[in-house]
Amino acid sequence: MDQKYVGHTLFDSLPFGKEMLASRLVMAPMTRIFSPGGVPGEDVAQYYRKRAENGIGLIITEGTAINHPAAVHSPDIPRFYGEDSLNGWSNVVREVHEAGGKIIPQLWHVGAARKAGSEPNIDAPPVSPSGFTLRGQRNEKIKALTKEEVAEMIDIYAEAASNAKRIGFDGIELHGAHGYLIDQFFWEVTNKRDDEYGGDLGERTKFATDIVRACRKAVGPDFPIVFRFSQWKGTDYEAKLAHNSNDLAQLLNPLVEAGVDIFHCSTRRIWEPEFKDEDPSLNLAGWTKRITKKPTIAVGSVGINRAYLSNQDNADVTIQDNLKTVDEKIIAGEFDYVAVGRALLADSEWAVKLKNGKLDQVTHYTKESEKNLV
């Protein structure tokens, strides 16, 4: 297979809000825990700059802690509040822009995925919709958010969105995937509320839609809001919010009405169909675009030779095969952007090597490469 052919659609320029991206390639958000005291330093700025100057159109930062004491579980996860952290992020933005890229922060609260006693605020209890663990068990160490606390949390997200715009970011991403706080409100396993934030799947979107509306009010009509969601959770890779396309519409349509511009559809393997009984080819991003008519970001083991959390090499699904599939699906209009994660951890020049037909020169991802994230 001609390496100069595969992935050629990824280097199209296309809009992101009122701006243009240099390519369809998105750097997926990946937790690094490399920001001592929650402040991103010059090393973080250069880490992102290297990816921007080597062909990545849009960078989504690692998850950043919103201004809540139980938002994250390590003091070295970057904060998105406090002038010291925001000044650090301002420098990151400046470096990425100088390299010709665009960048958005991922705004994050882990909810019940945080263990009691975790730093940086060991006295702050984990919070969740209903006080349940991610395995559906009630836990007295997890605090169920009151309605007043829900309202405060929504305001905290909006404050982060406002700060993102103020310091020069190109949009925001709300992390509503993988069993974290927003996703916990979506999921019937963790949301047992009997107020307006609970109920059926459509009703369980209210926390997320209230956040989106508050963020939209804070940033105005033209600042892109990306929403990341998933079916799978960190504790259950087979979990489903939506069992069919009708369920998916119940989840997504309220988010569209609230003001989401782009959906980032997190899957473990980009080539797998989401509802194979309804359509044997469409993945989650394809279904999301069909339902919402909004641009979508597809993701899932694109640039590596081992599928996410797989113990075996996928001998029948190579990187070239994946990229050819991506080309075909982009040309068919199934999704618009493609996020790449671990391949970019291992090789900051992955995209430009792909563009130049030099995939054979790529440094491939291994667990060892996680120790050298530069």
Known catalytic residues?
A: 180
| Angle value at C-alpha 242, between 180 and 203, nearest 5 degrees | 70
Cis geometry, peptide bond prior to residue 129 (ω within 30 degrees of 0):
no
Question: How many H-runs (helices) and E-runs (strands) does the chain carry?
Answer: 10, 12
CA 113 to CA 266: how far, in whole Å? Answer: 18
Say what angle helices 245-258 and 284-292 make with each other, to 10 degrees: 60
Question: What letter would DSSP give residue 193?
Answer: -
Q: 260 and 224 in contact (C-beta within 8 Å)?
A: no
Residue 132: closest CA among 62, 70, 181, 203: 181
Locate 212 and state its tokens. Answer: 């989106």
Residue 95: closest CA among 46, 32, 165, 59: 46
Q: 128 and 146 in contact (C-beta within 8 Å)?
A: no
CA 320 to CA 260: how far, in whole Å? Answer: 32
Residue 304: closest CA among 356, 239, 229, 369: 369
CA 322 to CA 303: how far, in whole Å? Answer: 8
Question: Tokens 């940033």 correspond to what residue?
Answer: 219
CA 108 to CA 66: how far, in whole Å? Answer: 6
State the DSSP string of 63-116.
EEE-SSTTS-S-TTSPBSSSHHHHHHHHHHHHHHHHTT-EEEEEEE--GGGSPT
